[in-house]
Structure 1
Amino acid sequence: MESPEKCCDTQFKVLSSGDYILPPPLQASIDKIVEKEGYISHKTFNRSVSTSGGNFLAELYEVDIKGSTADGDKETHIFIKNKMEDIQLSIFDIAECYSMETFFYGHLSKLYDDIQNKANIPIEERYNMVKSYDATNPNAIILENLAKKGFTTVHRMEVAPLRFAQLSVQQLARFHGLSWVLEKQHPEYFEKKIRPLKTTVQFNDNYQKFIDNMSTYTDKCVDVEKRVRLNNFKSGVLEIFKKNYFENAGSRCCLCHGDYRADNILVKKDGDNITEVIPVDYQLLYYGCPVLDFIFFIFPCTDQEFRRKHLDDLKDLYYKSLRKFLKYFNMDVESVYPRREFETEYKKRRDFGLAFGLLATPVLFTSDDDVPDIAKDDLGDISVTPDPKMDERIRGLVDDFLKWGIL
């Protein structure tokens, strides 16, 4: 069993040399950045990179600009997530995903910065966001390259380090808190731009095919008796997803991240100590129940031992962090999102944790060299070869939900 303190760093793999020629639209965007950053003379170094299976829907590039400005020498380090052409996935609208992330980095992040600045929130108490460039568009997300500042990710197969989980939960609480602050301070904007947002995931027959496909891997991890219960649960998984994403009557809702998992959270370390995390990847934003983001984060990146030791504490931390953040805006958390309601929603929606854990774990535990190419094969048809460590993770997941009376 992996120690919950272990952090396995994932570095980008360079696929090309520093003289890589960017696609013309991206080069035009870089030229605009060069001009806006005030370069008098400069050189650029471009690289095509891979995240070792951590990204499925984009071509990734790093661009380093080095040169001189009127104020002296300067360097600008850029990370680009470029939309792959000709991808047609039956359970995702790729164009809508990129439009959603463009909306976040091009508009909402700037509004969130303004809200936090006006409230004079200390840097260490803010919701962290990567700097984005104005050249960001629905085809390319153009950001500061934080790898140059030492940020990396926790490997998707590893149990989340406790400190990483704590900082990530604090950031999630602030993200949800900002949504409620936005609703209070800019009600017309909220009603027009946020409340109508629906998940871009299509829970259709192909999604059911994906569920059935992944169950062929997870079923093998448990004994026959538990497998019968698991198959009974599996028959209703699609409806569990639909219920949790679309049936929110009576639930307090806000803007949700939608893909809040460990490899969508950048992490920085000082020696062995994790000091900072920054969430990224806003392609699956939607308006819904905030507890789903918490559940989405916890179950794929923790094991049974971690949850036994730390789950209740992380729930407490989420709520305490939300309370503290809302105080900066003179908002009472018990009026915005009562703790009783948070606990009720968590218990009511906890089956989502098992559903998503069963669906995601075989893909998360696929080796870097065997990551499926969903640009060619839809999710319902992919074949994976999970690492043997997956078996224990699945058994722990199943045992927890048996104990909680959900299986």
Structure 2
Amino acid sequence: MLPVKNLDALLMQTYGPDFQIHDAEWKQLTDPGENFGSQILAITVNAKQSGKETTLNMVVKLPPRSQYLLDLFDSPITFKKELDFYSTVAPEFLKLQNESGIPQEALSVITPRFLGGRLGLRDPQCFDEQATIILENLKDDHYTTQDRILGLDKVHMDFAIGHLAKLHAITIGLKLKRPGFFERAVLPVLEYAVDEDAKDCVVDMVQKAHDDYKSMKEAESYLDRIERTLEYASRVTLTPKEPWTTLVHNDFWVNNMLFKYDESGKPINMKIVDFQLTVYDYGVQDLIFFLVSSSRKEVLDEHLDDMIDLYYDSFIKCLESLGVNTNIFPKSQFLQQLNQCAPVKFKQCIMMIQVIQAARGSVTETTDTADKDVFKGGINDENYKQKMLHVLSVFDRKGWLVK
């Protein structure tokens, strides 16, 4: 039985009132352990539109059923944020680029195409278990994900950093060029007050990571600074300053991007997904987490400063293409923000390693059944342990641990 009720009515949002589904096939799109924030289905429908037969392949997101995950992701709030982002904000990114005279072949189409959605079945504006977001199936257009445990090589890191910089720059361009629309339609999507249940879940995961460090002999010399950095991150609230504030994805890592390649295997495009945790903050928040969470060890060790420079240069270049005065975005301020934000970001980095480095097959719970013990990463898992230790060495080398 199709898990999505009234699918034809949702697709009518894009394909018109005469869209009729004949039959549909579906399957789970992600394995246990690959995605926790939602159920993700691949659905193929055979339908009739304007008298013609058509076949559509789509990805459908539904909320998780597990109460723990609903609390962890604050689903009633975050699902609405993501639905509003895809339906209202993402189309304006393209419109702004068109208005700025960027040629068709150079447009940044950052997200998959939105095909329909609702917050609930009983009331489209009230969250329930039938909250639905429908997107094009990127895998049909030969987009693929990379390996979360291995991480990204330099080519993929550079490519993704360029796209992340564009996401942040286009948001700022929209803010500066169309302030009325930005305040009315974009800022509400970026508001996010984490509820108490979600806070408790995060605290538990950070505490587990902290306890794991205490059990690692190799981390012994860092323990005082780990303690101070976590305490600092819990105590300090950074107030971002304009004009730098932008859409921060807040979950930008390997599993939330898909790449497309040419015949030689070179990446030629990518799409970013999962916009449920977006906030209004400094773009370097995304950059720090992405570099630490998703880069292969040798790339991070040899090219960290190069990748930071690449982000800033790509950010400025995109702003220039939108006709924005870039003198108000000096590099000195950017680097200052980077060093301010990194200690605060330490919590997310070590918390998420439990998810990113979870051994394949170690997580068998689905989004129906997952509870607080779902994340299995531990010091007996060598990948997890080495990644945790490497994060320490990177933060130490950059002076991002609080002394």
- 3-state SS of paired residue (2:361): helix
- Which residue does 1:117 correspond to in 2? 98
- Which residue does 1:199 correspond to in 2? 192
Note the alpha carbon deviations across 1:253-279, whole angstroms, 9 max, x for none: 112111111110111223532222111
Is the 1:299–1:354 contact (alpha carbons within 8 Å) kept by the matching residues of 2?
Answer: no
Q: Is 1:312 matched up with 2:305?
A: yes
* Whole-Å separation in 1 of the counterparts to 2:262 and 2:346: 34
- Which residue does 2:391 correspond to in 1? 397
Q: Is 1:293 matched up with 2:286?
A: yes
Is the 1:221–1:394 contact (alpha carbons within 8 Å) kept by the matching residues of 2?
Answer: no
TM-score, normalization by structure 1: 0.83
Aligned residue identity for 2:212: Y
Is the 2:59–2:137 contact (alpha carbons within 8 Å) kept by the matching residues of 1?
Answer: yes
- Which residue does 1:10 correspond to in 2? none
- Give the percent of matched residue pairs that are identical in Structure 1 and Structure 2: 20
* Whole-Å separation in 2 of the counterparts to 1:121 and 1:309: 34
For 1:83, which of 63, 76, 85 is the aligned residue? Answer: 63
State the shift of 1:90 in Å.
4.6
Aligned residue identity for 1:46: W
* Whole-Å separation in 1 of the counterparts to 2:146 and 2:217: 27
- Which residue does 1:215 correspond to in 2? 210
For 2:148, which of 138, 144, 156 is the aligned residue? Answer: 156
State the shift of 1:389 in Å.
1.9
Segment drifting more, 194-203 vs 311-320: 194-203
State the shift of 1:217 in Å.
3.1
State the shift of 1:79 in Å.
0.5
For 1:183, which of 164, 175, 198 is the aligned residue? Answer: 175
Note the alpha carbon deviations across 1:39-68, whole angstroms, 9 max, x for none: 678543222332442210222211113456
- 3-state SS of paired residue (1:350): helix
- 3-state SS of paired residue (1:183): helix
* Whole-Å separation in 2 of the counterparts to 1:34 and 1:319: 37
* Whole-Å separation in 2 of the counterparts to 1:48 and 1:304: 32
For 1:129, which of 106, 111, 130 is the aligned residue? Answer: 111
* Whole-Å separation in 2 of the counterparts to 1:35 and 1:191: 30
Structure 1: gaps spanning 5 or more residues: 1-20
- Which residue does 1:369 correspond to in 2? 361
Write the mapping of 1:317-336 to structure 2, written as runs, cut at 5 A. Answer: 317-335=310-328
* Whole-Å separation in 1 of the counterparts to 2:324 and 2:231: 37
State the shift of 1:327 in Å.
1.8
- Which residue does 1:343 correspond to in 2? 335
Aligned residue identity for 1:93: D
In the alignment of these two chains, the number of paired residues is 382
Write the mapping of 1:136-155 to structure 2, written as runs, cut at 5 A. Answer: 136-137=118-119, 139-155=131-147
Structure 2: gaps spanning 5 or more residues: 120-126
State the shift of 1:164 in Å.
1.4
Is the 1:156–1:301 contact (alpha carbons within 8 Å) kept by the matching residues of 2?
Answer: yes
For 1:302, which of 295, 307, 327 is the aligned residue? Answer: 295
Segment drifting more, 144-153 vs 119-128: 119-128
State the shift of 1:191 in Å.
2.5
State the shift of 1:333 in Å.
2.0
State the shift of 1:292 in Å.
0.3
